[in-house]
Amino acid sequence: MILVIGGAGYIGSHMVKELIKSKEVVILDNLSTGHRWAIDERAVFVEGDLGSPEVLKSIFSEYSIDAVMHFAASSLVGESVTNPMKYYMNNVSSTLTLLNTMLAFNINKFIFSSTAATYGIPDVDIITEETVTNPINPYGQSKLMVEHILSDLGNATDLKYVVLRYFNAAGAIESGEIGEEHDPETHLIPIILQHLLGKRKQISIFGSDYDTEDGTCIRDYIHVTDLANAHILALEALLAGTKDTATYNLCNGLGYSVKEVVEMCEKVAGKKANVVMSERRAGDPARLVASSDKIHRELGWKTEYSLEKIISTAWKWHQTRLKIEQ
């Protein structure tokens, strides 16, 4: 069985949908940001905190867990600056408790959700796994700290792990049954689509004076199901023993500016957005575009979703969500 921590959250719930096709799954989630409606009913669900040794011990005693995937983290960059303790407690301290308890139960296979925020403001056009990590906020720091902890534990114990550094996760499962919903929502694509559905009066573009072609920030958007499939390849490599430790970027390798994303959303929805130019948002790097050559080469991962397909699946989900709410 595979333990998916944070399996009621946005990326974790999409992970479960793919994983459950081939594996038995236990989900641990405290529902602080995840949703009950996102939990796959074929999985065993345990409501609780990953920072609780008692909860972890009861799961590890009751189920035969072959590997752990860890998606449960606080992930708002701005909040991490004003409340760093929350990030170090939720993202570092809880993960230490998890790893400590896993190793005590001889569970030694681990897949960790890391982030592009570990790179900070990169000095290269295309980020590779060799690019220097230099986070500029506590969120990125907290993820990098866990990466360092994993490296040390990997040297000292029989822990086998894969670190996956996500770029901008977006989109929803093709069926439209689950999708992205944060409160507050801070991510660009859901904000634009909510606006195009009439839930917001306007959208703001944060900064139009960046050193990019159209002056707005450039990001590398990656579909959640592509992300999930990368995790499955990483899991299979750990279970088969063909990988002991690895770190991979998960991205499309293509950069789109905020303006281009707005235009693509307008094209998919067939509506014009009411756009306001605003000040820069603190802590936004101008450009974050990466290469996923390493995971392609080593595990055969390929992405299937273009930006247009990513936004189409998100649009389908947001329309479904609106109907449920009405």
Verify whether residue 139 is a known catalytic residue.
yes
DSSP labels for 89-125? IIIIIHHHHHHHHHHHTT--EEEEEEEGGGG-S-SSS
Packing angle of the helix pair 307-325, 258-269 (nearest 10 deg): 60
**Contact map string, positions 266 to 305, toward ligand UFG, x by CB under 6 A:** ---------------x--x---x-----------------
**Is 75 a binder of ligand UFG (CB under 6 A)?**
yes
HSE-up (13 A, CA, CB side) for residue 40: 24
Pick from 255, 260, 262: which is nearest to 193 by CA?
Answer: 262
Cα dihedral value 58, 109, 292, 304, nearest 10: -60
91 versus 225: smaller Cβ distance to ligand UFG: 91
Residue among 30, 95, 114, 115 that touches ligand UFG (CB under 6 A): 115
**Is 8 a binder of ligand UFG (CB under 6 A)?**
no
Question: Both tokens of residue 261?
Answer: 């994303």
Query: Least Å distance between CB 145 and ligand UFG?
Result: 15
Residue among 172, 246, 258, 264 that touches ligand UFG (CB under 6 A): 258
**Is 196 a binder of ligand UFG (CB under 6 A)?**
no
d(CA 28, CA 7): 7
Stretch that binds ligand UFG, among 88-96, 153-161, 202-210, 229-237 (CB under 6 A): 202-210
Stretch that binds ligand UFG, among 62-70, 183-191, 222-230, 240-248 (CB under 6 A): 183-191
Can you give 143-179 as a three-state secondary structure string?
Answer: HHHHHHHHHHHHHHCCCEEEEEEECEEECCCCCCCCC
23 versus 187: smaller Cβ distance to ligand UFG: 187
**Contact map string, positions 123 to 142, toward ligand UFG, x by CB under 6 A:** ----------------x---
- Going from the C-alpha of 19 to that of each of 13, 217, 310, the distances in angstroms are 10, 33, 20
Residue among 219, 243, 259, 316 that touches ligand UFG (CB under 6 A): 219
Class of residue 281 by CB neighbours under 10 A (exposed 0-12, middle 13-18, buried 19+): middle
- Going from the C-alpha of 70 to that of each of 110, 203, 256, 309, the distances in angstroms are 8, 33, 28, 27
Q: Which residue has the closest beta carbon to ligand UFG?
A: 217
Write down the catalytic residue from 10, 87, 119, 139.
Answer: 139
**Contact map string, positions 158 to 177, toward ligand UFG, x by CB under 6 A:** ----------x---------
144 versus 191: smaller Cβ distance to ligand UFG: 191
Q: How many C-beta neighbours within 10 Å does residue 42 have?
A: 11
Q: Which residues, 6+ apart, have CB-to-CB distance to 206 below 8 Å?
A: 217, 258, 278, 279, 280, 281, 284
Query: Least Å distance between CB 218 and ligand UFG?
Result: 8
Residue among 205, 222, 227, 268 that touches ligand UFG (CB under 6 A): 205
Number of residues that bind ligand UFG (CB under 6 A): 21
184 versus 241: smaller Cβ distance to ligand UFG: 184
**Is 191 a binder of ligand UFG (CB under 6 A)?**
yes
**Is 117 a binder of ligand UFG (CB under 6 A)?**
yes
Residue among 93, 128, 194, 204 that touches ligand UFG (CB under 6 A): 204
d(CA 259, CA 205): 8
d(CA 301, CA 297): 8
Bin 120: left if φ > 0, else alpha if -120 < ψ < 50, else beta: left
Which stretches of the chain bind ligand UFG, using CB under 6 A?
75, 77, 115-117, 139, 168, 186-188, 191, 203-206, 217, 219, 258, 281, 284, 288
The catalytic residues are 139
